[in-house]
Amino acid sequence: MSTQIITTAIRGRFLDIQNTVSQASEIQNQIRYIEDGLLITENGKIQWFGAWEDGQPFLSSEIQVDHYPHQLIVPGFIDTHIHFPQTEMVGAYGEQLLEWLNTYTFPTELQFKDKNYADKIAQFFIQELLKNGTTTALVFCTVHPSSVDALFEAAEQFQMRLIAGKVLMDRHAPEELCDTAETAYADSKELIEKWHNKGRNLYAITPRFAPTSTPQQLEKAQQLKIEYPDVYVHTHLSENKDEIAWVKTLFPKQNSYLDVYHHYELTGSKSIFAHCVHLEDEEWDCMHQTGSAIAFCPTSNLFLGSGLFPLKKTWEKQVKVGLGTDIGAGTSFCHLQTINEAYKVQQLQGNKLSAIESLYHATLGGAKALSLEDKLGNFKIGKEADFIVLDIHATDLQRLRQQRSKTIEDALFALMTMGDDRNIDATYIYGQKVYTKNA
């Protein structure tokens, strides 16, 4: 019995970063731009990529070619930190982190004990990701195991690569939103067995942040990581100065906020810490030594007044970093808008963020932060075929501005400065078109 081969062929202008790098200055040497290119996928993987004229022998007459002559095709955006239960509370007014959690976040998350409600929001959330060109995301659910089921079920419809986990939280939150050390362990273990490495799903052990987990619960998280060493760890770190001071009172024996996680063996190559706005020098060193990664969330950091993330330091300290939208403290699902704010955050610190470096962080650099650079992030043959089609002339103002773009870098920078979901013409997941604008 023969296995059906599903083939997709895409023609157009392609731009990607060929290899991961260790310095921002090296990215320029890794740019690959093909003015008239061809991408062929088979069963979700990239089977051939190159110039259109060179690809003719690989196209049979029955293969339909999707042609995008005026658009720009790039790898799908990778979101390294986002909360799906907070989708409906974007733009909640007037608070900083700790007050914001109590006033808005916890009441919203209480609704997710209802699986039907979780299903509804999960479906909306996945559609918003696709509409905004995000093809992979590292996602917070709620304390309820059913919220994890809802999210993975919604993503499975599109064969989407998603990393997610149940929140662990046994103190300093409403009682009905808390689990215990024992139930957190048992529920997480069951969810790991059910979802991790099933299809393209991956699981993350997910303490909300150190203040909402007792030492006993963090010990259980440590036990899970020992028992399942290839699952992820996803949490928050050094977002807000009041939060950092709180952690020091709760864990006085630890040298720093990061040392709390490190003490419980929750650092490592598959550990992603959101924010990291105010890391101390020894914490930067620990991040590097353990291979841990940072999710840089500029729209959230600005919205909550948390501070300015020192992106330049990730290169100096050789720490992996990706971009996170951090919905719902973040204010947009769109990585174009996230990059726009990331640029401004660097400007305020006297640093520059180029369009090409931004593309790197949104694609291949994000894949590296998630230890998925062997599977995602560029158009290398054999990788999973997740990519997006960008309309760089989506508005009258963009069309006028792009007439002055002399290089692909200039065109990309203008897009990233002015762009939003209107610029996403199409999103492809695993070789299949799953979103088309105005369809």
Query: What is the DSSP-derived secondary structure letter of residue 392?
Result: T
Decide if 166 contacts 195 (C-beta within 8 A).
no
Which element (helix H / strand E) includes 13?
A: strand 7-17
pLDDT digit string (tens) for 399-424? 999 999 999 999 999 999 999 999 99
290-318: b or e for each residue (b if 16 or more CB lie within 10 Å)? bebbbbbbbbbbbbbebbbbbbebbbeee
Output the pLDDT for position 58: 92
Tokens (6 digits) for 407:
């290089």
Q: How confident is the model at residue 97 (pLDDT cuts 50, 70, 90)?
A: confident
Query: For the CA atoms of 24, 25, 28, 31, what is the dihedral angle to 10 degrees?
Result: -30
Identify any residues that bridge with 48 across adjacent strands, giving them in sequence order: 40
- Bridge partners (DSSP) of residue 49 are 39
Whether the pLDDT of residue 439 is over 80: the answer is: no
CATH, domain range 77-333: 3.20.20.140
| pLDDT given for residue 383 in this prediction | 98
**In the predicted model, what is the mean pLDDT of residues 66-92?**
97
- What is the average pLDDT value for the chain, to the nearest integer? 97
Beta carbons of 34 and 22 less than 8 angstroms apart: no
Q: How many CA atoms lie within 13 A of 333 on its CB side?
A: 25
Per residue in 12-44, pLDDT (tens digit) is 999 999 999 999 999 999 999 999 999 999 999
End-to-end CA distance of the chain: 36
**E strand or H helix that includes residue 436:** strand 432-436
Residue 325's pLDDT is: 98
Sole residue written with tokens 């959230």: 300
Count of Cβ atoms closer than 10 Å to residue 328 Cβ: 23
Bridge-partner residues for 68, per DSSP?
Answer: 12
Instruction: Kindly report the CATH class assigned to 7-76+377-436.
Output: mainly beta
Q: What is the DSSP letter of 349?
A: T
pLDDT of 155 reads 98
**pLDDT for residue 311:** 98
- Could you tell me the residue ranges of all domains in the chain? 7-76+377-436, 77-333
Residue in 298, 308, 309 with CA at minimum distance from that of residue 332: 298
Read off the pLDDT band of 106 (50, 70, 90): very high
Q: Say how many C-beta atoms besides its own lie within 10 A of residue 250's C-beta.
A: 17
> 42 has which bridge partners?
7, 45
- When pLDDT is averaged across residues 211-223 and rounded to a whole number, the result is 98
pLDDT digits (tens, 9 = 90+) for 147-185: 999 999 999 999 999 999 999 999 999 999 999 999 999
Q: Which of 11-15, 98-102, 334-338 has the lowest mean pLDDT?
A: 98-102
Name the residue with tokens 């309820």.
144
Give tens-digit pLDDT for 294-318: 999 999 999 999 999 999 999 999 9
Residue corresponding to tokens 């990291």: 276
Residue 3 has pLDDT above 80, yes or no: no
How many residues make up the chain in this entry? 439
Which two tokens mark 394?
């989506």
pLDDT of residue 208: 98
Q: What is the pLDDT of residue 61?
A: 86
Q: Note the pLDDT of residue 98.
A: 87
Please check the confidence at residue 2 and state whether its pLDDT lies above 80.
no
- The CA distance from 287 to 270, in Å, is 12
Neighbour tally for 89: CB within 10 Å? 18
User: Strand (E) positions, 64-217?
Assistant: 65-75, 77-83, 134-140, 161-165, 167-168, 201-207
Alpha helices for 34-105 (secondary structure H) = 52-55, 97-100
pLDDT at 1 (0 to 100): 45
Sign for the pseudo-dihedral over CA of 302, 304, 307, 310: negative
Average pLDDT estimate for 243-249 = 97
